[in-house]
């Protein structure tokens, strides 16, 4: 029987990155993709950095509180050990992971795993965030989501920090930040709001 090449049963993995500012729906999109995979009876697992303990130690929680169980881990190498037999690996808050994560994702994809990564592409200063540029460069598929600027209603790519604390790794409550467009973000940074 003739089988077209793309219908063969050979497993091929790949890497998807969902990026954007805060309030752009990255985690919701990650959850949506993983739920679809679960419906197809694929083995799924989600990891997040143990630094992210804003809501719950065990569950990944998006801002609208639709939860999906996740595993907090200390370093990206653990993903390789924990993902034996997993078809689809989700990684949330990827910007907080160590520099080995892009290599880990490569290895997973070579194993035949579909890897779905969600993370902030820019920090509160508007600078590329941690390993996200490396992940975006290596990804097979990229989705950039947008929020809406609270000031003017345009498309927002920036996470403006209203809190006076200026530490990139500070994980504040959602109300410490607001989504802003390039113009309103720049005005806020210049004015030192």
Nearer to Zn ion, 38 or 182 (CB): 182
End-to-end, the C-alpha distance of the chain in Å comes to 68
Contacts with Zn ion by CB under 5 A: the residue count is 6
In the complex, the smallest distance separating the C-beta of residue 21 from Zn ion, rounded to whole angstroms, is 12
Separation CA 141–CA 32 (nearest Å): 16
The residue (of 137 and 152) whose beta carbon lies closer to Zn ion is 152
* Cα radius of gyration (the chain): 18
* Binding residue for Zn ion, selected from 40, 42, 51, 152, defined by CB under 5 A: 152
Binding residue (CB under 5 A) for Zn ion from 91, 116, 149, 179: 149
Let me know the angle formed at the C-alpha of 131 by 137 and 136, rounded to the nearest 5 degrees. Answer: 20
Q: What span, in angstroms and rounded, lies between the C-alpha atoms of 186 and 158?
A: 9
Is 93 considered catalytic here?
A: yes
Closest separation between CB of residue 183 and Zn ion, Å?
Answer: 5
**Would you please indicate which residues are annotated as catalytic (active-site) residues?**
93
């Amino acid at each position: 029987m003739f089988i077209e090449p793309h219908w063969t049963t050979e497993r091929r993995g790949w890497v998807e990155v969902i990026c954007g500012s805060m309030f752009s729906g990255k985690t919701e999109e990650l959850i949506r993709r993983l739920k679809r995979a679960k419906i197809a009876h694929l083995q799924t697992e989600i990891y997040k950095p143990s630094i992210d303990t804003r809501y719950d130690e065990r569950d990944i929680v998006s801002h609208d509180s639709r939860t999906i169980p996740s595993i907090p881990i200390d370093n990206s190498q653990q993903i390789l050990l924990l993902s034996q037999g997993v078809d689809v690996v989700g990684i949330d808050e990827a910007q907080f992971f160590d520099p080995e994560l892009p290599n880990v994702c490569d290895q997973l994809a070579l194993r035949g795993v579909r890897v779905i990564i969600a993370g902030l592409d820019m920090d509160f200063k508007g600078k590329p965030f941690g390993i996200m540029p490396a992940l975006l460069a290596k990804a097979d598929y990229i989705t950039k989501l947008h929020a809406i600027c609270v000031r003017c209603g345009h498309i927002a790519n920036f996470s403006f920090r209203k809190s006076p604390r200026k530490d990139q790794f500070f994980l504040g409550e959602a109300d410490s930040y607001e989504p802003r467009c390039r113009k309103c973000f720049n005005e806020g940074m210049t004015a030192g709001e």
